[in-house]
Homo-oligomer: A and B are copies of this chain.
Amino acid sequence: LSGREGVLSFLKENDGFLISTHVNPDGDALGSAIALQLALNELGKRSTVFVSGGVPAIYSFLPRTEIVIDRVDQDEASDLLLILLDCNSPARASLEGLAFARSAVIDHHETESDFGDARWVDPRVPATGMMVLEAIKALGVKISKEMAVNLYTAIAVDTGTFRYSNTNADTFRAAAELLDAGAEPGMISDSLYNTWNRNRFSLLCMNLSTIETRGAVSLSVVSDEMFKNSSTGHPDTESFVNYPLLMSDILVSACFRETGKDAWKVSLRSKGELNMAKVAERFGGGGHKNAAGYSFNGDLDTARQALLKSLGDLFNL
């Protein structure tokens, strides 16, 4: 058995799971993992959620984050069945050194590998949370309020609260079910979006003041000095790169964050069909069509020129 049925059999027929997901987990990763653990628990099955680096502070509003552990060793792994969610290779979860008894994958990303004794990978689905919702129902477990908040958050984050073009009618039907089960959209949206501290807001204003445009491309910077002046850090820059896309004639937005002497993290966002993953891959990074990133060593001007050249080569931008 492979695909959806293979993974469902894997869950039904076994016990003693380690559920994991990618490092720097987003709402889809965490919400999917916690909801699946709660469902397996309902079935009387033992399972644990492992996330390398633990739960980011922004997601502490999710119910039951306290079940997440951030350490696992080979002694434990040997007896456990691994379930990878929202990624499809152990390296993405910082688990590449460990050997598990068996493994399964539930993911909506393009395949990176053929890892997994059972694999259900479907890039057409907007969020892994939708697949986990389907799995939980197929296992005969009633969706609890705690599962609902986790799964609603998963879907909300990966569809930009239903604004991205990946949103489909099934997404809305899933959301309706999760509201029936107790998820509150207003509370979850506030928790996701309206929780900045003032320093982070100051940093945004600094970042916006650096925007320069080259045709349809916006370039902005967050320098080490800005981080210091505002007492902020890299996680505070989350979503900054999206703001220039408010402008109708900006098709690509790039944000350069200083990580050290002549060292930058570059976040890319695009509208429509412009594939940022292809750009990021040229620099050793990766991502999705409309959201990708990479690291760059060199001074800021060299970093900007290199990106503009790639955008010119690939898209005539």
Interface residues of A (CB under 8 A from B): 160-170, 172-173, 175-177, 179-180, 184-187, 189-190, 193-198, 200-201, 204-205, 208-209, 211, 213, 244-249, 271
Contacts and interface: CB of A to CB of B under 8 A. Distances in A.
Contact of A246 (B164, B194, B245): B194
Interface centre among A162, A165, A187 (most CB of B within 10 A): A162
A246 B201 contact: yes
A1 to B, nearest CB: 31
A168 B180 CA distance: 9
27 contacts: A160-B189, A161-B162, A162-B162, A162-B185, A162-B189, A163-B186, A163-B189, A163-B193, A165-B184, A165-B185, A167-B185, A167-B186, A168-B179, A169-B177, A172-B176, A173-B173, A176-B176, A193-B246, A194-B245, A194-B248, A196-B247, A197-B249, A198-B213, A201-B211, A201-B246, A201-B247, A208-B208
Contacts of A186: 163-167
A151 to B, nearest CB: 13
Contacts of A180: 169
